[in-house]
Every structure is written in C-alpha cells, then in structure tokens.
Amino acid sequence: MEQSIEEKLKALFQLQTLHTQIDKIRQIRGELPMEVADLEDEVAGLETRIQKIKSDLDELEDAIVTRKNLIKEALAATKKYEAQLNEVKNNREYDAISKEIEIQGLEIQVSEKKIKEYSFEIQNKTEVYENALANITERKKDLELKKAELDTITAETQKEEAAILVNAHEAEKHIDERLLIAYTRLRSNAKNGLAVVTIQRDSCSGCFNQIPPQRQLDIRQRKRIIVCEHCGRILVDEGFALEEASLS
C-alpha cells in the first residue's frame, strides 16, 4: 500500500530525529578524535626528528674520534721525521723531511680545528636533542590523556549510538528510494545535518528565513512535500515534533 504524503513526511521527520540524536552524540566527542590524530602525528614527527638528531650526534662523535686518530698518526709521523733529520746527508733530504713535518703539523691544526667545530655542533645539537626529548615526553602525556578521554566518551556513547543507528537503518526502509536520496543529499550539504526542519516563529528552523502565511498553511495540511525556497530543506509543521515527543 502506497504511503500518503503525511506518512512520508512523518517517516522523514522520524529519520531526521534519529540522525540528529546521532549527531549530538558525536558532538559530545567533539574535536577529540582530530586532536588525538594531530597529537599522534606530532609525536611521530618528534620521534623522527629525535632519531635524526641522535644519528647526527653519533656521526659527529665518530668524526671526532677519526680526527683524534689522525692527530695521533700525524704526531707519530712527525716524531719519526724529526728523528730522520739527524741522519740527513744533504740539503735536499733535509728540505723534503722538513716539508713532511710541516704537512703533518698542518694536518694536526686542521684536525684540531675540526674537533672544535664538531664539539660546538655537538653542544648545540645536544641542547636541541634534550629539548625535543622533553617536548615529546609532554606530548605523549597529552596524547595519553586525550586518548583516555576519548575512550571514556566513546565507551559511554558507543552503545547508545549503535542502538540509534539500528533504528535509523530500520526507518530508512520505510522511505521510498527517491525521497531517501534527496534527504541524504540535503543532509550531507547542510552544516548542521538538518534536511527536514519544522516551522518555528513563522520561519524555517534550518535557515531562519520567514515563510509566507499561505505556505505555512500548505505545510500544515501535509498534502504535499514542500521545501524551503531559501535553503531547500524539507519543511514540516511543528506538530510532528510534538507527536514525536509524545511517543518518546
């Protein structure tokens, strides 16, 4: 048996009521899921940064060890060349060995300079590393608290939301496909999720634009589906809300 317009409107209003209840439950969770996701991304970013800084510090420490070894080798070579100076037989040999001693001295100077540079860089990076560790500790605490808060709210509302969703899916079965598609489209385009709205104070309760008296009368007669000429939402009279309230 085909539904009357009034029955169709009532079915749409009931579905909207259920969806509004779900929306309110999800609003309780508010921005928490997004905040948790943002904190997770921030912690992951800090972990990557900390690993990179740690890797840089390890490389700098290795570079200092390498430079210290070069200094040791240069000092040993210098000592060897200085011993050879006592055994030279001509000026050419003397100049060649002196040149080698000079080269080793320059190598030592360069290595000592590099060690100072690396040490300064280690000092700066260590400070950044310690700050990042302190920061990630705080962020992890924040994340833990936000997750606990979200888990608590989810646990409190999940059962209720699931029950309403079952009722909403059941209500959809009583609405013909064309109307349901239109309803779904309107709902997805509306910021507040309202596709079916009542008249309040002679106005559309969706966009708050005034509805002419004759149009209000047509809506209250429930003989045809009427949409708001301003926002496109389906309009029903306030009697539906009273009827719904009396059933709950």
pLDDT by residue for the chain (248 residues), tens only, comes to 577 889 899 999 999 999 999 998 888 777 888 899 999 999 999 999 999 999 999 999 999 999 999 999 999 999 999 999 888 889 999 999 999 999 999 999 999 999 999 999 999 999 999 999 999 999 999 999 999 998 988 888 888 889 999 999 999 988 889 999 999 999 999 888 999 999 999 999 999 999 999 999 999 999 999 999 999 999 998 887 777 655 55
> 110: how many CB neighbours lie within 10 A of its CB?
14
Q: Cα 126 vs. chain centroid, distance in angstroms?
A: 28
> In order of start, what are the domains of the chain with their CATH numbers?
5-27+176-247 (1.10.287.1490), 31-156 (1.10.287.1490)
Assigned token pair, 54: 């740690």
Alpha carbon distances (Å) from 48 to 5, 37, 130, 246: 61, 17, 14, 58
Beta bridge partners of 204: 199
Contacts of 196 by beta carbon, 8 Å cutoff, 6+ apart: 9, 12, 13, 15, 16, 183, 233, 234, 235, 236
pLDDT at 41: 96
Residue 247: predicted pLDDT: 53
pLDDT at residue 59, rounded to an integer = 97
Instruction: Decide: pTM greater than 0.75.
Output: no
Tell me: the pLDDT tens digits for 179-224?
999 999 999 998 889 999 999 999 999 999 999 999 999 999 999 9
Note whether 125 and 60 are within 8 A (CB).
yes
Per-residue confidence (pLDDT) for residue 156, from 0 to 100: 82
Q: Are 111 and 74 in contact (CB under 8 A)?
A: yes
